[in-house]
Amino acid sequence: MQGLQMVDLKRQYLNIKSEVDEAILNVLSSTAFINGPEVKNFSTELAAYLGVKHVIPCANGTDALQIALMALGLQPGDEVITPSFTYIATVEVVALLRLKPVFVDVDADTFTMNLDSVRNAITDKTKAIIPVHLYGQCVDMEPLLALGKEKNIPIIEDNAQAIGGTYTFADGSKKKTGAIGTIGCTSFFPSKNLGCYGDGGAMFTNDDALAEKLAMIANHGQKVRYYHDMVGCNSRLDSIQAALLRIKLRKLDAYCDARRSAADYYDNAFKNNPNIITPFRAPYNLHVFHQYTLQVKNVNRDKVQELLAEKGIPSMIYYPVSSHKQKMLAEFGGASYDLPVTDFLNTCVISLPIHTELTEAELQYISENVNQIIDQLSK
């Protein structure tokens, strides 16, 4: 089978081409490339979708996390609790701001931060907690919110992989992921569930004062033009991306459904394979499958990837080395951490192609080959 990809942006584009081309051409003829009406309209529409008061767009997901930390007014040396098992951006911005990342372990089933580890990691210096909704699975937010409230620690959701997801509270009420903590952050990187055709990101909050501060920091610390009240940065979403994102936002729920259907197909295909653990679906969470990530047992994972590649099936390891073991963060004492689940997951996770345009024939081809290769290698 030809042309299988982890994410097939080309096929998705061809399905929405006329709408997208028209929207982009409109921006070209308006020449309102920065801060035009498209950006404002997108922010308003995204706020309505998420059920959150303020959406502040910015240049990318990494900036969103950085600006969120800046808006909380943290001081050098303040501690920020994050999982080590995440994309590096979550932790990098903490170090960049001269704050101290404090790493916690994850649960092997959900791949998300373990609440007991978070509780144990809290000190007098803890000034923020960053839960990461990894692969599209929301962290169990209700007990985390309670802990944050008890200790008076703000919670910044890294929602880059879970936009469109829904969290259900014990009383049955629901919130969209990213709209639950003090500030939510997301990325519109092309391969994300709500991806643009370049870079983009956004922050969400229900707090009016924080919203104003986030917007100011993203815009050189100014509210009134040329009057700069605080040190900020230059982080903007451009109008072409916003125009495209407005179109894709209207399709986001359908896109998440398509990803879930593909995941259902895989789950069913792998359920009887003793050497494959399929992704856990937490009861509080409507999973949006940014990634479809298996844990494989009794096989050489490199060999699995090699044999899959021979069949034209791409696969990826997210992530082979966790943050606390990265050279970049060595000064934060990575070697002294004991994060057994994180270390274990580094060795056994493997992500398969998942996107909005996978056909049943492709899903069948991929899953049959995965089963066959794992069976063969585990003998």
For ligand PLP, the binding residue among 42, 49, 85, 87 (CB under 6 A) is 87
CB of 156 to ligand PLP, least distance (A): 11
For ligand PLP, the binding residue among 12, 43, 60, 315 (CB under 6 A) is 60
CB of 114 to ligand PLP, least distance (A): 17
Q: Indicate whether 90 belongs to the interface with ligand PLP (CB under 6 A).
A: yes
Residue nearest to ligand PLP (CB): 61
CB of 56 to ligand PLP, least distance (A): 15
Sign of the dihedral through C-alpha 82, 87, 90, 93: positive
Stretch that binds ligand PLP, among 36-44, 84-92, 332-340, 348-356 (CB under 6 A): 84-92
Q: Indicate whether 156 belongs to the interface with ligand PLP (CB under 6 A).
A: no
Q: Indicate whether 304 belongs to the interface with ligand PLP (CB under 6 A).
A: no
CB of 97 to ligand PLP, least distance (A): 15
Nearer to ligand PLP, 114 or 367 (CB): 114
Nearer to ligand PLP, 87 or 255 (CB): 87
Nearer to ligand PLP, 318 or 332 (CB): 318
Stretch that binds ligand PLP, among 16-24, 155-163, 279-287, 365-373 (CB under 6 A): 155-163
Dihedral angle of Cα 19, 25, 27, 28, to the nearest 10 degrees: 170
Identify the CA nearest to 69 among candidates 155, 178, 187.
155
Q: Indicate whether 238 belongs to the interface with ligand PLP (CB under 6 A).
A: no
Q: What is the 3-state secondary structure (H, E, C) of the chain?
A: CCCCCCCCHHHHHHHHHHHHHHHHHHHHHHCCCECCHHHHHHHHHHHHHHCCCEEEEECCHHHHHHHHHHHCCCCCCCEEEEECCCCCHHHHHHHHCCCEEEEECECCCCCCECHHHHHHHCCCCEEEECCECHHHCCCCHHHHHHHHHHHCCCEEEECCCCCCCEEECCCCCEEECCCCCCEEEEECCCCCCCCCCCCCEEEEECCHHHHHHHHHHHECCECCCCCECCCCCECCCEHHHHHHHHHHHHHHHHHHHHHHHHHHHHHHHHCCCCCEECCCCCCCEECCCCCEEEEECCCCHHHHHHHHHHCCCCCECCCCCCHHHCHHHHHHCHHHCCCHHHHHHHHHEEEECCCCCCCHHHHHHHHHHHHHHHHHHHC
Q: Indicate whether 187 belongs to the interface with ligand PLP (CB under 6 A).
A: yes
For ligand PLP, the binding residue among 13, 33, 189, 365 (CB under 6 A) is 189
Nearer to ligand PLP, 324 or 363 (CB): 324
Identity (one letter) of the amino acid at 156?
A: I
Q: Indicate whether 201 belongs to the interface with ligand PLP (CB under 6 A).
A: yes
Terminus-to-terminus CA distance in the chain, angstroms? 26
User: Would you say 326 and 335 are in contact if contact means Cβ atoms under 8 Å apart?
Assistant: no
Nearer to ligand PLP, 136 or 148 (CB): 136
Nearer to ligand PLP, 57 or 307 (CB): 57
Q: Indicate whether 165 belongs to the interface with ligand PLP (CB under 6 A).
A: no
Q: Indicate whether 61 belongs to the interface with ligand PLP (CB under 6 A).
A: yes
Q: Indicate whether 82 belongs to the interface with ligand PLP (CB under 6 A).
A: no
Q: Indicate whether 203 belongs to the interface with ligand PLP (CB under 6 A).
A: no
Site map (CB under 6 A) of ligand PLP, residues 92-131, x = contact: ----------------------------------------
CB of 176 to ligand PLP, least distance (A): 17
Q: Site residues (CB under 6 A) for ligand PLP?
A: 60-62, 86-87, 89-90, 132, 158, 160-161, 187, 189, 199, 201
